[in-house]
Chain A
Amino acid sequence: MARKDRPIGAIARAGYARAAGLIPMMLFLVVFFIGPLLVNFSQSFAGPGTMFREYRRIFTDGYYLLVIFQTVLLGCAVTIGCLVLGYPLGMAIARASGRLKAALMFAVVAPLLVNVVVRSFGWMVILGNQGVVNWIGSALGLAPLELMYTWWGITIALVHVLLPFMALSIASVLEGIDPRLEEAAKVLGANAFNALRLVLLPLSFEGIVTGSILVFTATVGSFVTIMLLGNASTMVLPLLIYQQLTVVSDWAFAAAMGTTLLVLVATLLWVQARFMRPGWRQARTV
């Protein structure tokens, strides 16, 4: 674009001011994120034995690799669950107004206000063998579902608490979409489904990506829900880290696991940023 090569005075100055907007956050993260990260990173080499011993323990043991895989898989499952349930909810929130909007936002935010342990006990009442789900199921003549201490129960509980991150991310982006675009599509003959597919989804893509990133990373870092609603067969990396920091008191090993998870997820985030640049401002035509 010609304008970029020859900036006009005021716009250029405004541009530099905005570029400098990066600096406070970068500085802050360098001090308060990289600092603790380096503390952990150096600890991961400080264990007894050779320098890479803790990392070797992780990467040469099928068990730990399996746990990493399970952690990522859980992240994907919860993200997909939140996406499927959260997109329509985001649409509803964006389109609603007044009391309905307030009610939906309250409902979506309320799970986060209940302490995680208490919330988990609530799920035990619902998902347990004599719980609400099975009570309804038996009334309908269905066989009892084993939901407690399984990946299913954990996924349901995590989707429940992380839904606001998906729904509100999508709602905030949908809010900015001119409703006339959708109306125009309908006038031109698109049915509701095509209007969604060809107009809304591409325009709200950034919201979907945001919600997915936030839900995935939150899932991959959580352990209390998994500790209470799962058992030894549903192990994830953060729970292993917690064990190492408390019962075993092996900071080196915990730090190695934390660093591994960080590198893994940060790489995924980088790939996402690299290949999905913002800028899909146009709706696709058929």
Chain B
Amino acid sequence: MKRIANVTAVAALCAMTLSGPLAFGATDKPDKIVVTAFGGVWAESVKKNYASCFEKKTGVKVEVVTGESAEWLNKIRANPDHSPIDVVTLSELDSLRAGREGLLSKMTTSEVPNLAQVPAQFHVPWGDLGVSSTYGPMGIMYNSEKISDPPKSWKDLIDGIAAGKYGKKVAWPSGTYAWGPPFIWFIAQQYGGDVNVAFDKLKAMKPYVVKFWETPVDALNLFATKQVDILAYWDGRSYAFINKGNPWAKFYIPEPNGMTSLVLFSKVKSAPPIAWEYINCVLSPEAQVGNAEMIRYPGTNKTVAYPADLKKDFTPFERVVVPPYDQIIEKIPSWVERWNKEMR
């Protein structure tokens, strides 16, 4: 009896779920588009700033899906003709991969007028298949009660750590973190560009690093519980921490600049053309300011003017460097393997 009931239940479930709407016609207005966002405050900002802008302009509903870049990339790969996602936010590397696999649509200023306001470094390296809405460099966050003379440059920091200047109270991104390999490239840049030097420096730092972190939350946990006095960390997240009642923590971008992370918005090839309007909303001045206020990362639209209290935390374009992902991407398998083998 139990078994018959189960079979009926499963059959009913089949009928219900398979009869749901799966794809929209290319020419009619769809009843909704599906967009991605990272969880928590990011998703809130997306709903408040981007989704409402799009819904007002087009009358089409926006469904926000939270998760991570790798997951979304795989979902699109598995369903190229009926992608479950219309506008996707991929990491720099995943965006390159998706582009090379022909999964994304190229954008021009006719579909996305606001693209003209975005500096080239935030979309041209991806062949205009994706554009970043924000940028956020990695800098140094430190405990000002323990460290009174923070290092001026990245080189000073790295050499200082390796010399034991801060004791065993350092945290650093792992080479196997999503932005680990680009950060290895960045370290190499401080010493003339040789990746072998970067690995040597990392090995020298190792005795003083409590944890090479794989997820930012892990790093913040170490810093907040005072197990670590100084760490390389993202600016938006650092300011979020500092502004939540932790004035003992300070953040800055050392010389010469900071490596940035980008969030690349792309329209998936099988998505309806109306989805372009969403990307245009994302790059619009109002949405850029609204988003910056919520997640505290500056936007890429160069015409936007931010209120003074926000502006003081933002790093100007000139102090930010975008790693050459199209060159790094081939090297990643070997760098990750080197990390696993040499850093244990």
Contacts and interface: CB of A to CB of B under 8 A. Distances in A.
Mutual binders A and B: yes
A249 B97 contact: yes
B173 to A, nearest CB: 12
Nearest to B332: A248
Nearest to B70: A246
Interface string A1-13: 0000000000000
Contacts of A232: 174, 176, 212, 339-340, 343-344
Contacts of A227: 214
Contacts of A228: 214-215, 218
Interface of B: 70, 73, 93-94, 97, 174, 176-178, 180-181, 211-212, 214-215, 217-218, 221, 225, 227, 332-333, 336, 339-341, 343-344
A74 to B, nearest CB: 15
Contacts, number: 53
A233 B343 CA distance: 7
B177 A247 contact: yes
Interface centre among B214, B217, B343 (most CB of A within 10 A): B214
Interface stretch (A79-87, A121-129, A183-191): A121-129
A243 B177 CA distance: 8
A269 interface: no
Given A121-B221, A130-B227, A246 B178 contact: yes
Contacts of B177: 247
Contact of A149 (B176, B211, B217, B340): B211
Contacts of B227: 128-130
A245 B333 CA distance: 11
Given A63-B340, A231-B212, A245 B221 contact: no
Nearest to A62: B341
- Chain A interface extent, by class: 20 to 34
A244 to B, nearest CB: 8
Contacts of B212: 231-232
11 contacts: A63-B341, A124-B225, A149-B211, A228-B218, A231-B212, A232-B212, A240-B340, A243-B176, A243-B336, A243-B340, A249-B97
Label chain B's interface by main secondary structure: helix
Contact of B333 (A117, A246, A250): A250
A215 interface: no
Given A121-B221, A231-B212, A243-B176, A248 B336 contact: yes
A248 B340 CA distance: 13
Contacts of A63: 340-341
A81 B120 CA distance: 57
A117 B39 CA distance: 15
Contacts of B73: 249
A247 B334 CA distance: 12
Contacts of B340: 63, 232, 235, 240, 243
B217 A117 contact: yes
A235 B340 CA distance: 8
Interface centre among A149, A231, A247 (most CB of B within 10 A): A247
Contacts of A233: 344
B70 A245 contact: yes
Interface in A145-174: 149
3 shortest interchain CB distances as A-B pairs: A233-B344, A232-B344, A246-B70
Contact of A247 (B218, B332, B343): B332
A117 B227 CA distance: 18
A26 B260 CA distance: 51
A92 to B, nearest CB: 31
B70 A235 contact: no
